Structure 1
Amino acid sequence: MNCGGTWHWTGSWTPGDGGWVTVEFGVLVDVREEGAGYSGERVEEVVAADRLGFEGAWLSEHHLTADGVLPSPLVMAGVLAGRTSRIRIGTNVLVLPLHHPLRVAEDVAVLDLVSGGRFVLGVGQGYAEREFAAFGADRRRRGVLLEEGVRRIREAWSAGDVTPRPRGEIPIYAAGVTAAGLRRAARVGDGVIIYCATPADLIARRTLLDEVVDDPPPLICTGIMHVDDDADRAWAEAAPGIAYLEGEIASYGGTEPPRLHRTDYLVGTPEDIAARLIDLHAATRFVHFAHWLRLPTLSHEAAVRSLELIARRVVPAVRAGVSR
């Protein structure tokens, strides 16, 4: 159910004329101290994504991590807005139960204005116990706090409680993983965000979404992807970062990290990955796919090289394949 915002990804939606006619691509911006995350390299990588035609740059939020994962995505969004001209900038996701909804409404209104309407608010209920404890938030009520927060943000914008006023409607997307979480995301969001590291898990979540929601809003898939002309080199570059990332994500949720199997991930040559993305689109019907721009431990040069190959050889092939 659409709850008041609009789907803004440029040029993809043609109401009454066949629906979604193409897919869009974005990048997950991994900002942490490991890998010079707070240096100019990370900003330059997003500038490169903007130049190469990617449609979205997404920022996540975590707190009190050993490696300094970004705790202030709205601050970083302002930095990126000032260095880019066309790419949309969003959160994937802002842990809304840790924030006062009016404060978020004000900050996002400012971002909307300074970015020329390019900001997208992606929210989630969060899960890490240490984060809720640190902020004194009730983790048991995180689902309710998410719904209440989205409602209060929209009311603040529509009723004029926020000044300056946003230039227009700002879309709010919501993330979910479980059946209950996906129902909630579809209920409050203009789009549903699903993060899974592998295509198989994305497909499983899409299946679950279809089972629990009759008419889901558009799906934004986010996951891991890395390409190189040499498939072995692609895996050698990506594997350490994937192992690190899977371990960190597991630690947030108090679970064991999975064993890595090369064929599980979108890592390989551009042609192989394009074919797999076409299959993934057929199975999930995603409207936007965002990949980890720079995996932990990956060099700036390797990240930009992969980004350029994706832009020039993966994205056109996927768009041609899904439009047939």
Structure 2
Amino acid sequence: MTSNAPTFGLWYDFRNPAQWRQPLGALYRDSIDQAVWAEQLGFGSAWLSEHHFAEDDYASSPLTVAAALGARTTTMRIGTNIVVAGLHEPVRLAEDAAALSLMSGGRFDLGVGLGYREAEFTAFGRRVKQRPSLLEDSIAVIRQAWSGSTEPFEGKRFAYPGLPVTPLPEVTPRLLIGAQSEPGIDRAARVGDGVITLSNDHCQVYLDAVRRHGGNLDEARIYASQWAIVAEDPERVWAQISDHVLYQLNKYIEWGSFEGPNQPSQFADAQAVLDAGAYRLMDASMAVDELVTLATTYPQIRDFHYWAQYPGESVESGSARIQYLADKVIPEVTRKLADRP
């Protein structure tokens, strides 16, 4: 098992809600500048999300942003959390990911997932109920494309002649799968190079699935999205940004992100978010204790990442939390994990 500490990362969606509208070009440019700065502070990853036809300008072109980040950074890994694979032509997705790997020196990870927003599938001529087969076919096509195979592909949703996809990546991107349901986590263990989790409770679910499929636990990879506000005075920061967080969660609920019988209703106010445990408030010592415990219990965790800023929040406001993580959390977690047996 690797003894390296997990990297820390930032997560971007570039939302720009009407009630907090800001110049969108500046938001993109300033956020990329922020990620470049964060690399200098010790952050090791940046993650980019995807949605389409969103009234709040949710980022629809994460691979383009990934290319810009790859050109501006030197050590930071750049990943998608996530690309909705079923909305894309998978050969083109494989080609774009290969180009990103080549340009970045092998620092790109392709995170894919099912998606859930019916309007997106309808607009792209896909059926939302076919999401599982669209995703599994896409993964198979992408893997075959990166292998240089000249074999034809015949799947449930896609078919291609025996033509090699070129150019091949010099470093094959990791193909990660974002999942929050047990079937999705099982799929990540079965056909992915790792899982992107939305809850730390899912770490054990994933490892159980890896074991069930005969995988090597030493090679399992968990990329753990964190839903927490970490600050010197988290209650004060929460008072400043909670409306932005409330908007974020309620929009995900409105779009259908949380599936199944336990789908939450929209949160009435910011206190309801905390009461439900959807977000937690932490200072550095609390965050360090939790992250060290998680990384010790689950050494398969390769990355912890946090939202850089929330919908409508200024980049400067998000940067204050980034600085705090860099000063008080990252070095202490790294030191404590280096000292463990």
In which range does the TM-score fall when normalised by the shorter chain? 0.7 to 0.9
Q: Does 1:107 align with 2:61?
A: no
Residues 189 and 209 in structure 2, CA contact (< 8 A), matched pair in contact too: no
Instruction: Specify the alignment match of 1:187 in structure 2.
Output: 190
| Inter-partner Cα distance in structure 2 for 1:229 and 1:164 | 48
Q: Does 1:269 align with 2:283?
A: yes
Residue identity opposite 2:229 in structure 1:
H
Partner SS for 1:62: coil
Residue identity opposite 1:152 in structure 2:
V
Instruction: Specify the alignment match of 2:51 in structure 1.
Output: 62
- Give the alignment of 1:16-165 within 5 angstroms: 18-34=1-17, 36=23, 38-39=25-26, 40-159=29-148, 161-165=164-168
| Inter-partner Cα distance in structure 2 for 1:247 and 1:193 | 21
Please report how far the alpha carbon of residue 43 of structure 1 lies from its aligned counterpart in structure 2 after TM superposition. 1.2
Aligned residues: 301
- Residue-by-residue CA offset, 1:247-303 (whole Å, 9 max, x unaligned): 111112175234311793343322222223233435554221111011123222221
Please report how far the alpha carbon of residue 58 of structure 1 lies from its aligned counterpart in structure 2 after TM superposition. 0.5
| Inter-partner Cα distance in structure 1 for 2:294 and 2:245 | 20
Please report how far the alpha carbon of residue 170 of structure 1 lies from its aligned counterpart in structure 2 after TM superposition. 1.5
Instruction: Specify the alignment match of 1:229 in structure 2.
Output: 232
| Inter-partner Cα distance in structure 2 for 1:284 and 1:134 | 40
Partner SS for 2:273: coil
Out of 241, 244, 250, which is 2:244 matched to?
241
| Inter-partner Cα distance in structure 1 for 2:234 and 2:86 | 42
Residues 31 and 38 in structure 1, CA contact (< 8 A), matched pair in contact too: no
Please report how far the alpha carbon of residue 19 of structure 1 lies from its aligned counterpart in structure 2 after TM superposition. 3.0
- In structure 1, runs of 5+ residues without a counterpart are 1-17, 197-201
Between stretches 29-38 and 237-246, larger displacement belongs to 29-38
Cα RMSD (Å): 2.1
Instruction: Specify the structure having the higher radius of gyration (Cα).
Output: 2
Please report how far the alpha carbon of residue 46 of structure 1 lies from its aligned counterpart in structure 2 after TM superposition. 1.0
Please report how far the alpha carbon of residue 320 of structure 1 lies from its aligned counterpart in structure 2 after TM superposition. 2.8
Please report how far the alpha carbon of residue 93 of structure 1 lies from its aligned counterpart in structure 2 after TM superposition. 0.5
Residues 39 and 76 in structure 2, CA contact (< 8 A), matched pair in contact too: yes
| Inter-partner Cα distance in structure 1 for 2:56 and 2:289 | 35
Q: Does 1:314 align with 2:314?
A: no
Partner SS for 1:261: helix
| Inter-partner Cα distance in structure 1 for 2:125 and 2:226 | 30
Instruction: Specify the alignment match of 2:292 in structure 1.
Output: 278
Q: Does 1:253 align with 2:256?
A: yes
- Scaled by the length of structure 2, what TM-score is found? 0.82
Please report how far the alpha carbon of residue 172 of structure 1 lies from its aligned counterpart in structure 2 after TM superposition. 0.7
| Inter-partner Cα distance in structure 1 for 2:283 and 2:312 | 20
Instruction: Specify the alignment match of 1:13 in structure 2.
Output: none
- Scaled by the length of structure 1, what TM-score is found? 0.86
| Inter-partner Cα distance in structure 2 for 1:305 and 1:238 | 12
Please report how far the alpha carbon of residue 37 of structure 1 lies from its aligned counterpart in structure 2 after TM superposition. 5.1
Residue identity opposite 1:321 in structure 2:
K
- Residue-by-residue CA offset, 1:62-115 (whole Å, 9 max, x unaligned): 011110100111111112112222211110001001111110011111111122
Between stretches 30-39 and 82-91, larger displacement belongs to 30-39
Residues 190 and 218 in structure 1, CA contact (< 8 A), matched pair in contact too: yes
- In structure 2, runs of 5+ residues without a counterpart are 150-163, 258-262
Instruction: Specify the alignment match of 1:6 in structure 2.
Output: none
| % identical equivalent positions | 34
Please report how far the alpha carbon of residue 305 of structure 1 lies from its aligned counterpart in structure 2 after TM superposition. 1.5
| Inter-partner Cα distance in structure 2 for 1:23 and 1:224 | 17
Q: Does 1:169 align with 2:172?
A: yes
Instruction: Specify the alignment match of 1:206 in structure 2.
Output: 203
1:128/1:263 CA distance change after superposition, 3 Å: closer
Partner SS for 2:46: strand
